[in-house]
Structure formats: C-alpha cells, structure tokens
C-alpha cells in the first residue's frame, strides 16, 4: 500500500498525493537525507497489464530518469534520483509549488500578449537546451508548463514531464500503431504517425501559446480524441484572431511542413524580443512572470484526456506512454 508517511527506498517520506502523470501518481515527499521537499512519481502499471507490459513501463520510467538527468536548466524541472524499491522505480524530482498553465487558464482566463510571449520565450529556452542535448520532449502542452506560486518561486516558469521524451541513441520502446500525446497539441506529422523531431515541439509550443491567447487550440476542441486526431493530421488550422504581435511568429511555428518551422532557439529569440518591447531580452528570459496577477476572464474548458489512436497507412510508430 502507498499512503502518507510511507518511507520509500529508506529515504523519501511521502506526505501527500499532489497529482498524477501518464505513468502513475505524484507525491510530495521529504528527502530525509538532505532535508528538502521533493516530488516523487510512483510508477503504477495498469491493473490489466501483464508482466511484459509492466516491465516495459518500468523500463520507460528508468529511461525518463536517465533522459531528464541530462538536463539542467532554470526553466525545466530537475530529476534528482531514480529510487528502486521492490523492483518498482520512483522518479525523484524537484518540487515546485505551482499551478499549471491549464489551471491558470481555467481559473484566471486568457493571458495578455506580453505574458504569453515571456512564458513562451522561457519555455522555448528550456526546450532549445533540450534539443541541443539530443532530446525531443514530445508532450508540450499547457498542463506541462508550471507557474510557481508563493515566496521565492512566485512567477517562476518551468516545463515538466519528460515521460515520453526520446533521446537519440536510447533504445526505443514502441507498440506499432499507437501514438502518445494530447491530440489537440500534436503536430500534423506526429498525428500522421511519423516520428517526432524538434520541429514537433515547436508546433506544440505554438499550440500551447495559441490556447493561452485564443481560448482553444488551433484545431479546436470539438469531438472525441480520434476526430481531433484527424483534424490535426489534415493540418488545417484556424488563424489566430487575438494574438496581436504574436500572430506572425505563431503562424510560422504552426507551419504544416516541419521544415518550414523555425528552430526552438529562433522561437526563443523572437518571443523574447516581442516581450522585451525593445528592452533587454536577457532580462525577459530570467524575470518572473506576472501571470498570477492576470485579471479574471472567460475560463477555458477542462483539458481533453490523453487517448491513443492508430493512424492509417504504414508509418513509423510513435512511442506510447
């Protein structure tokens, strides 16, 4: 049984469950060796999973730890350790008291243009470093962008959840015909079943910022996940109407052909310049966002749950969660 006060791997004292990811539950815990709070992801195989599927999920969790441990960036959640207890991996991560962007949008309403530009520039800065390390995030979306709350972390922007990331040179764990990611934020090539590259993260970041400004993703939220997937694969987006100076960069990032999209470093520089309004772009990348002070506006609907679907035709399988 997993419950508050359980000691994991002789070191991490569970305090309370604070969320869930694609692979299991996330707990706030106390690292009793170093005396600091951490977030611990408990990997829980589905009740219907056989031993082979459970073992694949354990391998995937270990891979997540290896991938994330390569990264060190002020706008990315750090992974400290992969603890193993009774054969079950637990990912030990930096704990950031925060709300996700999806929670901000649901509770406070849409972002201002300058807020979206700054948040986007900071996330792009982390993702540019991720791509430079040979890693594709593969699941950039509002619920994976955190905005710090309270004290010294107020307004701190960080991207999290590298659980379906892929690093070049790693063994790929696949199941033919399945794709992973939230349909509304996928790029067209990923929806068609092709292997995602850095350009897919560019598209997903654009979809995230589009949602922050327009109130829904570029392909809308109507219908079920399979219907959304078909719309994404077709690549026909609704041009933004409320994005102001971000309209042109968003349209470039949302190009159907991944070869026509800017690099993540170019995205970072352009968004930082827009947010700086002629000022110091370096300050834009390090300053805290004032997203928490967004005035109330029309709230967004709850995020669409992740579903898997099989694209038609012979494609390269995209790794499942």
**Known catalytic residues?**
139
CA atoms within 13 A on the CB side of 66: 13
CB 304 within 8 A of CB 184: yes
Q: Which residues does 163 contact at the CB level (< 8 Å), separation at least 6?
A: 21, 22, 23, 60, 61, 64, 139, 321
- Report the C-alpha gap between 140 and 126 in whole angstroms: 12
Integer Cα distance of 225 and 256 in angstroms? 20
**264-276 helix and 113-132 helix, angle to the nearest 10 degrees:** 150
Chain center to CA of 297: 24
């Amino acid at each position: 049984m997993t419950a508050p006060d359980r000691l994991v791997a002789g070191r991490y004292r569970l305090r309370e469950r604070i969320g869930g990811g694609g692979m299991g539950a996330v707990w706030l815990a106390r690292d009793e060796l170093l005396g600091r709070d951490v977030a611990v992801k408990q990997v829980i195989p589905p009740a219907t999973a056989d031993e082979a599927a459970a073992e694949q999920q354990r391998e995937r969790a270990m891979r997540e730890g290896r991938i994330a441990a390569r990264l060190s960036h002020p706008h990315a959640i750090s992974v400290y350790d992969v603890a193993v207890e009774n054969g079950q991996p637990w990912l030990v991560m930096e704990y950031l008291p925060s709300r996700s962007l999806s929670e901000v949008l649901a509770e406070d309403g849409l972002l201002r243009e300058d807020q979206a530009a700054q948040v986007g520039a900071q996330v792009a800065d982390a993702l540019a470093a991720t791509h430079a390390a040979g890693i594709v995030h593969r699941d950039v979306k509002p619920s994976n962008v955190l905005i710090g709350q309270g004290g010294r972390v107020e307004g701190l922007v960080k991207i999290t959840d590298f659980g379906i990331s892929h690093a070049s040179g790693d063994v790929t764990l696949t199941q033919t015909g399945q794709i992973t990611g939230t349909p509304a934020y996928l790029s067209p090539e990923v929806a068609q079943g092709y292997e995602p590259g850095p350009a897919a993260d560019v598209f997903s970041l654009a979809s995230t910022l589009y949602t922050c400004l327009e109130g829904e993703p570029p392909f809308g939220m109507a219908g079920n996940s399979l219907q959304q997937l078909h719309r994404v694969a077709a690549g026909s987006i609704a041009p933004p109407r409320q994005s102001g100076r971000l309209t042109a960069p968003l349209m470039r990032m949302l190009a159907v052909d991944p070869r026509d999209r800017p690099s993540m470093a170019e995205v970072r520089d352009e968004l930082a310049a827009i947010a700086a309004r002629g000022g110091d772009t370096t300050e834009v990348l390090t300053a805290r966002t004032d997203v928490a002070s967004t005035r109330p506006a029309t709230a967004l609907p709850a995020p669409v749950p992740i579903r898997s679907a099989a694209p038609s035709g012979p494609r390269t399988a995209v790794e499942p969660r």
